[in-house]
Structure 1
Amino acid sequence: MPLEECKYGPACYRKNPSHFQEFSHPWLEEAVMDSDESKKPCTPCINEDATPEIIEDQNCAKDEIHLNKRKRSDSTSSSNSLSKSPITKTARIQSNPLNMYLTKVKGMDESVNNFCSIGIIEILSSKWGQLQESAQFNYMFEVEWLIDKYPPCFRHLPMLLVHQDKRETTAQLEAETAPYGNIDLAKARLNDAFGTHHTKMMLLRYEDTLRVVIHTANLIEQDWREKTQGVWLSPLFPLFKEDEEPRDKSPTKFQTDLILYLRSYKSKAVDHWCELLKKYDMSEAKVFIIGSTPGRHTGADLHKFGHMKLRKILSSNHATCENVQANWPVIGQFSSIGSLGAKSEAWLQGEFLQSLGTTPKRFTAFTKPPLKLVFPCVEDVRNSLEGYKAGGSLPYSDSTHQKQLYLTKFLHRWKSDKKGRTRASPHIKSYFRVSPDMKQIHYAVLTSANLSKAAWGGLEKQSSQLCIRSYELGVLFLPKIFGQQDTFVVSDGLVVDGDGEKDPISFPVPFDLPLTRYGDEDQPWRWDVCYKSIPDSHGDVWIPS
């Protein structure tokens, strides 16, 4: 049941927690961080001369830091040297030429959450305009929690939830959405039991603009609290003017490829959004769409999805980079691992690495680049903010691992000291090609796709068709599209520089470079193995159910 609004309005001075359990304070929603403390009053933590925007951006971080001091003890030392200068939300977003963000993390120093970061309340904020309708594509939903993240004035508006067509998922969502007459459901049909609807995207239509948000988090509270997630936030695309011809003017064919992806759902509810997207000028979109849709893609469709779509773009002039040599490593970072084959050459170092290591036709023959993979080891999970519980979001089974032990030689630990997120377990998925000194980036991908053939696709019939089992969606960043000559610069800390025209743009790689290879005692996390010998950061052990 919704709470009755506090009768004192914005003048409310009460501090008793029970008061905020009995009465709602919607005017405070954007003045606090997206957390389970979001109905607690926000007392400004800075001087009275500060602007309202700065007060809003500070989010009473001091109170939260005090409450979570024990939880973040390991992360404090890595973030003490980070800048703590207050900046407004608007300034932070406008200063990020890539529109690439990490999600805010509960219990972290305020400087961590001020760096190139965003929360779901901020994404859905009314400050962007008067929302008309929205669509949420995802794998997991907590409907009541999601509704609560919208501003109160938007909670009654039309919303479409696109979910996987599996009996248990459908039944749960039908029950959760029953009280809400404004929510419609659309099923993403799957071809087999091994596929999932894993795409994570928001479509937000305002009065005169539209925004596309492609991210890595499930729409559940746990995924937005203490994990490392990634978000690409599009510009606010304006409507075409009446005298303009509606057409895709983006240098990356963003609009065309997004509509192509959405058409694969074969759903009237999703087609509604395809027709809407055609009405907006997306010329400011500077990323490429990398989507996956279930099916066996052949002929002209072979290069439209999965790793073959990435291969095609990386072989184009958009990806030309005079500096790239065969020894530039490919880095993959993910939160789940599928069955990759008995030998690394079968898929991982075969077709997959060939796609991620593709360059425009500069070399006479493809030369296999070094491959480095980032996935948490048991110690990374044990010491995380969530402890072993974080491992529930890292679904890699021991039976699969025993069939591909070769994988361990490629693995590196999850470390993010420079971004203050070492203890924020990764659910983000990102892929890069970097220089051997780990200072330059040829390309970057933010995606929902984990390390699996189901997500990226597997070639069949002498490479004439690509078999994909899951829906996935991501974006590819290429330096040339952002006005860079050759490469992005790897950011050393909590800073993103460059205006996209003259100065080099530093890319916010979510993990530390150089990488930290697994030690002799390190093992990749497997979620179906017992870990009882050493308690985690909460004093708990892990016994799979």
Structure 2
Amino acid sequence: MDTHRDSFDGDEEGAVRYAIALSLQDHNALTSHSTAQNPIEVENSGNEDDDLDNGPKCPPTPKKPTQLIDGNVKAPMTSHSLPVPQTTTSGIQSTGFSALGLDRKKMEEERLARLTKRKAPHDDEIPKRCPQRVKIDRQPGGIPLKTTADTSVGTKSPQLPYLKGVVRKTWASGYPRQDDIKIEEILQKDHLELAVLSSFQWDDEWLLSKIDTKKTKMICIAFASSDYQKEQMRANVPRDRIRFCFPPMMPAGSMHSKLQLLKFPNYLRLAIPTGNLVPYDWGETGIMENMVFLIDLPMTKDSANQLTMFGQELCYFLKASGLDENLINSLSKYDFSETNRYRFIHTIGQSHVGEGWQRTGYCGLGRAVKSLGLATASKVELDFVVASLGSVNTDLTSAIYNAAQGDNGLMEYEKRTAGGRKKAAQKTESSYHPDNFRIYFPSHETVSRSRGGKNNGGTICLQSKWWDSPTFPRELVHDCKSVRPGLLMHTKALFVRQYQNQSQTSWAYIGSANLSESAWGRLVKDRASGQPKLNCRNWECGVLIPMESQAVKSGWAAFENKIPIPMVVPGEAYGKANSKKPWLFLEA
């Protein structure tokens, strides 16, 4: 009997962890049960002036291995069984960073030597500022990749590549370049001074090939299964170059957000990808694609600079994550005015009461829609591309649909918690909108025929027990095929249009959140106060992107030249017709 098929208990990201292990066959280490997470924990270097200009105060994690029994990869012992660092032949536990030969003692000796030399003006190791004018690099199509103009402090309109914000697909090896970007073009390692990174999955060696730690300090917002693992992770990196921040975790859930704050001389690049910090999510194996939102924020001299709602929610999310307050405050040195057209969408992995529940999860999504003037009582079309599906039900799909209309979560909550005749009457209403809500998830056939085949579908997750549940909205599921034939998609994207091509404003969400309760939360009644409470398992983040100048464009044309549509639309509705079976990663 395959007991592991029941071990995830609806925890989609627990299933993802197991799928990744199956896909990568990462024979690393033994696992242990997750320990309770402490409140926010941030390393403190003692420097009260630490900020985006001076470096971090507060992490990459090792790859998350699964349990090894008799040399075979096994399922987690529980739905949230999590790893501890690898045990080496010497008996010393280590992380991926130590495997790269980053000897902590040696690095400290080198750092002290550099400090001693630093008085010499000819010292080659003194960090050098980039010249004010940088050579223009261009990819096919003439898209500039690097800053091209005078970037002196206070310049009102430096010609930064992504000053207004853009969405790109990730480059994929073997495919023509169009509307895509490589991670090297985002990170620009020769000029990068500080990188604040978060990810669900990490490839340490690969990441350090993209970032020059002699020039760039790193803050990695990461997951660790225990205090012991945190200490081991800290012990195996150079503390003056790489620091860790561990967000507080629910007993079950994942640090699933993907976020990059990249400091260059006199501007900040904000990147929100849908993929992790691993080579196949950035196209290097030519089997998987993702998407990324980018915007460049110039520095400002305005002492009264005010953060936009986007900036406020970004800071709210970073503060909840446990990032150093001085660093967060230093974001006010950058001009966020171009983000006013967007909204930062997040899920904070906690229980939220009071007014806090309206700021995060699907409640926060609805609030953001309304704040941009996109709320509507009319029907909308939803097309949601996902890489993972768990125990989805019509409560969740209804909540997401309502949020897309600008509802703060109370509409579905009140219907679900209503009693007596009122509840019976409301149950007769359509709760999941089968005619205008499409979930894009690949069929078994699509994965099998992909460029990487079944052996490379491990990060695309669904289990038969969830699919076969009578509450699973199979009628909504459409086959997910990339417009770049043969590629699998690890993309998470929601496209919202007016029903039947009415010419009203459309918008999209690009980010880390799949369609799951773990990713978007569930609104329940708080026993103590009787008021709504939002329970969220995961940490997620994304961006809401409205389409402009919609007067003459409707339907999919609304996204033309704004967001590259990654999938074939509308896709075959195989769930409703039962014409195909979905990709079931445990039964491939």
> Structure 1 CA distance, aligned partners of 2:279 and 2:227?
20
> Structure 2 CA distance, aligned partners of 1:463 and 1:330?
30
**1:289 matched to 2:344:** yes
**1:333 matched to 2:385:** yes
* Offset at residue 315 of structure 1 (A): 3.0
Which residue does 2:196 correspond to in 1?
A: 135
2:492 aligned to which of 390, 408, 429: 429
* Offset at residue 104 of structure 1 (A): 0.5
2:358 aligned to which of 289, 296, 303: 303
**1:313 matched to 2:313:** no
* Offset at residue 478 of structure 1 (A): 1.7
TM-score, reference length from structure 2: 0.63
Task: Tell me, yes or no, if the aligned pair for 1:334 and 1:451 is still in contact at 8 Å.
Answer: yes
Task: Tell me, yes or no, if the aligned pair for 1:488 and 1:507 is still in contact at 8 Å.
Answer: no
> Structure 1 CA distance, aligned partners of 2:456 and 2:228?
22
* Offset at residue 221 of structure 1 (A): 1.3
> Structure 1 CA distance, aligned partners of 2:312 and 2:142?
39
Which residue does 1:394 correspond to in 2?
A: 460
> Structure 2 CA distance, aligned partners of 1:525 and 1:239?
47
> Structure 2 CA distance, aligned partners of 1:446 and 1:163?
21
Alignment partner of 1:347: what SS? helix
> Structure 2 CA distance, aligned partners of 1:517 and 1:292?
29
**1:407 matched to 2:473:** yes
Could you give the per-residue CA deviations for residues 46-74 of structure 1, whole angstroms, max 9, x where no partner exists?
Answer: xxxxxx968x635xxxxxxxxxxxxxxxx
Distance 1:527 1:439, change over 3 A: farther
Which residue does 2:522 correspond to in 1?
A: 458
> Structure 2 CA distance, aligned partners of 1:425 and 1:385?
8
> Structure 1 CA distance, aligned partners of 2:194 and 2:142?
33
> Structure 2 CA distance, aligned partners of 1:122 and 1:392?
27
RMSD, matched Cα: 3.5
Task: Tell me, yes or no, if the aligned pair for 2:192 and 2:215 is still in contact at 8 Å.
Answer: no
Task: Tell me, yes or no, if the aligned pair for 1:340 and 1:404 is still in contact at 8 Å.
Answer: no
Which residue does 2:224 correspond to in 1?
A: 165
* Offset at residue 511 of structure 1 (A): 1.4
Bigger drift between 208-217 and 220-229 goes to 220-229
Alignment partner of 1:164: what SS? coil
Which residue does 2:40 correspond to in 1?
A: none
Distance 1:456 1:98, change over 3 A: same
* Offset at residue 487 of structure 1 (A): 6.6
Distance 1:185 1:353, change over 3 A: same
Could you give the per-residue CA deviations for residues 359-413 of structure 1, whole angstroms, max 9, x where no partner exists?
Answer: 79xx9x9986532110011011111121113321112222322325643211101
1:107 aligned to which of 150, 155, 174: 174
> Structure 2 CA distance, aligned partners of 1:198 and 1:187?
12
| Structure 2, gaps ≥5 residues long | 1-99, 102-134, 149-158, 412-425
Which residue does 2:298 correspond to in 1?
A: 238
Alignment partner of 1:141: what SS? coil
Instruction: Give 1:123-522 correspondences, 5 Å limit.
Output: 123-125=186-188, 130-150=191-211, 152=212, 155-167=214-226, 170=229, 174=233, 177-178=236-237, 182-193=241-252, 195-225=253-283, 226-235=287-296, 237-241=297-301, 243-248=302-307, 250=308, 253-268=309-324, 271-285=325-339, 286-316=341-371, 318-319=373-374, 325-326=378-379, 328-341=380-393, 344=394, 346-349=395-398, 351-358=399-406, 369=433, 370-404=436-470, 406-417=472-483, 421-436=484-499, 442-461=506-525, 464-479=532-547, 482=548, 490=556, 497=561, 506-518=562-574, 520-522=578-580
Task: Tell me, yes or no, if the aligned pair for 1:336 and 1:394 is still in contact at 8 Å.
Answer: yes
Alignment partner of 1:434: what SS? strand
* Offset at residue 198 of structure 1 (A): 0.4
* Offset at residue 329 of structure 1 (A): 1.9
Distance 1:88 1:176, change over 3 A: farther
Aligned AA (1:312): R
> Structure 2 CA distance, aligned partners of 1:483 and 1:443?
12
Instruction: Give 1:56-135 correspondences, 5 Å limit.
Output: 57=139, 89=145, 98-108=165-175, 110=176, 113=177, 115-125=178-188, 130-135=191-196
Which residue does 1:14 correspond to in 2?
A: none
Task: Tell me, yes or no, if the aligned pair for 1:438 and 1:514 is still in contact at 8 Å.
Answer: no
Aligned AA (2:482): S
> Structure 1 CA distance, aligned partners of 2:226 and 2:206?
22
* Offset at residue 316 of structure 1 (A): 3.9
> Structure 2 CA distance, aligned partners of 1:170 and 1:423?
39
Which residue does 1:36 correspond to in 2?
A: none
Task: Tell me, yes or no, if the aligned pair for 2:444 and 2:583 is still in contact at 8 Å.
Answer: yes
State, as a whole percentage, how many aligned pairs show the same letter.
22
* Offset at residue 213 of structure 1 (A): 0.7
Task: Tell me, yes or no, if the aligned pair for 1:455 and 1:471 is still in contact at 8 Å.
Answer: yes
Distance 1:87 1:290, change over 3 A: closer
Task: Tell me, yes or no, if the aligned pair for 2:501 and 2:554 is still in contact at 8 Å.
Answer: no
> Structure 1 CA distance, aligned partners of 2:281 and 2:445?
20
Distance 1:168 1:216, change over 3 A: farther
* Offset at residue 266 of structure 1 (A): 3.0
Aligned AA (2:310): F
Alignment partner of 1:131: what SS? coil
* Offset at residue 424 of structure 1 (A): 1.4
Aligned AA (1:381): V
Aligned AA (2:467): H
> Structure 1 CA distance, aligned partners of 2:350 and 2:356?
11
Could you give the per-residue CA deviations for residues 516-541 of structure 1, whole angstroms, max 9, x where no partner exists?
Answer: 22154311111111x3xxxxxxxxxx
Aligned AA (2:343): F
Distance 1:97 1:207, change over 3 A: closer
Distance 1:118 1:172, change over 3 A: farther
Alignment partner of 2:567: what SS? coil
Aligned AA (1:353): Y
